[in-house]
Amino acid sequence: MDDSETFVSYHKALMELSHDSGFIRQQRHQKLSALASLCGRLLGVERVSVWFFHPGRDRITCECLYDIHEEPGARQQNVSSTNKDLSPVNLYRSDHPNYFQAISEERILAVNDARNDPRTSSFKSNYLPSVGIHSMLDAPVFDGSRLSGVVCLEACHPRNWTLPELSFAISIADTISLVNIYEAWMSSQKALDFISRFDTLTGLPNIDSLKERVVHLAKKVLKRQKGSLALIWIDVDRLKAINDGLGPQAGDSVIAELGQRLKTLRLEGKDMLARIGGDEFAMLIRHQTHAEALNHAADQILRSIEQPIRVSGQSLGISASLGICLLPKDCVEPQELLRGAEAAMYHAKNLGRAQATVFDSAIRITAQSRFALERELRSTISNNALDVFYQPIVDQAGKNLVCMEALVRWNHPLRGWLSPIEFLDIARGSGLMYALGECVLQRVCEDWSEASSSGIQLPTISVNLSAEQVLTVDLPDRIEEICAKQKMPVSALQFEVTEDSIQGDSGIIEKVLERLVKAGAELAIDDFGTGYSSLSRLKSLPFSRIKIDRSFIKDLPNDENDCAITLSIIGLARGLGLSVVAEGVENESHEAWLLERGCDYLQGYRYSKPLPFTQIIDRYYSG
């Protein structure tokens, strides 16, 4: 055959192999063996090997070898052909610098006389003569633009490599590159599937996996008209106090330990254990749902959790509140099973924690009210119908308005004005915090624009950010977009975050906060002293203001502990170059004590309660 016919026959054989369904289903090492075998047989070379580069690029290791002198066909190999031991064959850059440079710079390395060619002669001392190699044809394997390996063809006789052979070697290397990319993609898909279906801290299924399992089992129960399910909702009591006192790492240790305990707990009918929230687990029980069995299960769960946990050198006593709901006794829809168990858990907490409550009609009424409020809140947010009140922040004179904090309010059609304490827990539990925060910001921007169009220059407006917002990478883009629509500069805003809000992924939080500052906004840390934050973390974030929580202000100047804490916070702020705002200033004694100690700004009912926008304008800008 002439070169053209040879070229076509080579590539036809490669296409037939690479598109064969059996080849596609094979494991990676089997694919490499098949490709090496095909290459050796078609080109009539004695040895074909596949090598991979280590991350440091200091060596390559043989992972597959076809040798015509061995059994017919290729084989996966980490075996040295010279000594037949099981040691991996490595070639080091330090021993063969010319070869490594050539394979890195040349698209293909065609060597007719390997023993005398300067690129490969370094192999002569202990490799080429012993194996009998005369000619080599090496093609680099790339993963994208990164050199990741080499395909090496070795002939035991002098050989001038033809153009079809050169092209075929490159095609084999490119096919291996595609195999590597596919394997990497499959690996990432598996990792993504794990992340999307399992909790990374405990390794347990997550809420989505639990929901799928509940739906599947509920369908079987309802279709067969026999069997039953029980869902036990487990909420760890006061985990926030552990996070505040010992740090989030301690809280993670507690959750991981409890997850392991619950996982190894042997209970009749136990079907699935899932971690469904920061401090919440759920256990699904099949068939064993009569009262005696469930009471026993609840008792075992509570006993397991109550065993002391050693964290950070301290022995912690832990408890949990349990809610139990049954299908089909209490409900027939899978979602109702989860909601009912959650409602029963909240009822157990209200009764005093560390106990289990079974869903009943009274709880149903309470749960229905809660779920109705959730639906109404969701609708209110989607219609941008929440209201914003503003509370002044004044200077040391107590008269000049230097800032005002935007505080969300909900004018419920039946319940009247609701303060955040009445609906924020519902928003947080329903995944509405990000949308709620965006709704507040839109209203603030609208109010600022209205004032600006009337010739009123408002002071900086302080807006609270939730943990859900500061952990969202595109938050700064969204804020700039909302401000731009109302022609409001981002520099007219100050954002407040609590200590607890900055305990998540530090990389994301730092990027988000730094971008907000770069856009012109100021940052304040809110409720300082009530959460957990290390000084190094506080120092690394771009805050310009600290707000002392009202809980430390209310008993000033009579409570020595509150005085000491407040003085410490003021001193810390001074050391970090931050200004200080005291919240909850209600009387003259509060004001006098704080001003004497150098507090920069004051906020509280002594100056004004939170007011609707129109009243703020009338109070400070009319007449």
> What is the per-residue pLDDT for 533?
52
Structure tokens at 358: 């079974």
pLDDT in tens, 435-471: 999 999 999 999 999 999 999 999 999 999 988 898 8
> What is the per-residue pLDDT for 249?
82
Give 211's contacts (C-beta < 8 A, 6+ positions apart).
334, 335, 338
> What is the per-residue pLDDT for 191?
66
pLDDT higher than threshold 70 for residue 245: no
pLDDT band at 406 (very low <50, low <70, confident <90, very high): very high
pLDDT in tens, 28-41: 889 999 999 999 99
Q: Looking at per-residue confidence, does 128 or 175 come out higher?
A: 175
For 606-612, the CB contacts below 8 A with 24+ separation are 606/398, 607/392, 607/394, 607/398, 608/391, 608/392, 609/391, 610/389, 610/390, 610/391, 610/405, 610/407, 610/409, 611/389, 611/390, 611/391, 612/387, 612/389, 612/390
**Structural domains present in the chain:** 3-193 (3.30.450.40), 207-359 (3.30.70.270), 374-621 (3.20.20.450)
Q: In whole angstroms, what is the distance from residue 120 CA to residue 154 CA?
A: 12
pLDDT (average), residues 580-593: 93
Q: What's the CA angle centered on 445, arms 472 and 495, to 5 degrees?
A: 45
Structure tokens at 427: 């928003």
Q: How many CA atoms lie within 13 A of 167 on its CB side?
A: 13
Which of 360-364, 374-378, 420-424, 552-556 has the weakest average pLDDT?
360-364
pLDDT in tens, 602-615: 999 999 999 999 99
Q: Looking at per-residue confidence, does 399 or 169 come out higher?
A: 169
Q: 460 near 498, Cβ under 8 Å?
A: no
CA 365 and chain centroid, separation: 36
Q: Looking at per-residue confidence, does 208 or 502 come out higher?
A: 208
> What is the per-residue pLDDT for 88?
66
Q: Rank 515-519, 548-552, 617-621 by mean pLDDT and report only the highest.
A: 515-519
Q: How far is CA 230 from CA 89, 225, 288, in A?
A: 57, 16, 8
Q: In whole angstroms, what is the distance from residue 577 CA to residue 570 CA?
A: 10
Model pTM score: 0.51
Give 312's contacts (C-beta < 8 A, 6+ positions apart).
246, 247, 250, 253
Percent of the chain with pLDDT strictly greater than 70: 92
Q: Looking at per-residue confidence, does 466 or 623 come out higher?
A: 466
pLDDT band at 77 (very low <50, low <70, confident <90, very high): very low
> What is the per-residue pLDDT for 1?
65
Query: Helix 248-264 and helix 239-246: axis angle, to 10°?
Result: 140
> What is the per-residue pLDDT for 84?
39
pLDDT higher than threshold 60 for residue 72: no
> What is the per-residue pLDDT for 81?
36
> What is the per-residue pLDDT for 82?
35
pLDDT in tens, 517-535: 999 999 998 877 655 455 6
Which of 86-95, 151-160, 540-549 has the weakest average pLDDT?
86-95
Q: 579 near 393, Cβ under 8 Å?
A: no
Which of 334-338, 461-465, 599-603 has the weakest average pLDDT?
334-338
pLDDT higher than threshold 60 for residue 60: yes
Q: 402 near 459, Cβ under 8 Å?
A: yes
pLDDT band at 296 (very low <50, low <70, confident <90, very high): very high
pLDDT (average), residues 533-538: 58
Q: How many CA atoms lie within 13 A of 484 on its CB side?
A: 7
Query: What DSSP character marks residue 453?
Result: H
> What is the per-residue pLDDT for 237?
85
pLDDT in tens, 304-333: 999 988 887 778 888 999 999 999 998 888
Give 182's contacts (C-beta < 8 A, 6+ positions apart).
none
Which of 419-433, 444-458, 586-600 has the weakest average pLDDT?
419-433
Q: How far is CA 611 from CA 389, 392, 406, in A?
A: 5, 9, 10
Structure tokens at 120: 């490969």
> What is the per-residue pLDDT for 377?
93
> What is the per-residue pLDDT for 5?
86
Q: What's the CA angle centered on 165, arms 160 and 167, to 5 degrees?
A: 130
pLDDT in tens, 131-179: 788 999 999 998 877 889 999 999 998 889 999 999 999 999 999 988 8
